[in-house]
Amino acid sequence: HLREVAPDEPRRDVLLDVADRYGLPVLAPPIPRTVRFAEASASGSSVLAGRKTKGGAAYRDLAKAILKHWKSGKALPTFVPEL
């Protein structure tokens, strides 16, 4: 079981919860939560549309890592919580 985290660590809390609850690795780097995701959803646009958003860049980086893994068969980097 993973350790409890302080309430001021919401992103870390979500990552630990996913890893613990589902027993799944969390791919690294984690996607940051931004208000742009809600705005994109509300307007029907893609979070990838904004080239300069942290979230969009993180999704593009993750997609590149997945493609690299798919082509090479090398392991994907995962988030490892500090306990």
| pLDDT (0 to 100) of residue 81 | 65
- pTM, to two decimals: 0.63
Which amino acid makes up residue 33?
A: R
Element housing 59 (H / E)? helix 54-72
Peptide bond just before 25 cis, omega within 30 deg: no
pLDDT at 83 over 70: no
Q: Is 82 or 68 the better-scoring residue by pLDDT?
A: 68
What pLDDT score was predicted for residue 33?
Answer: 74
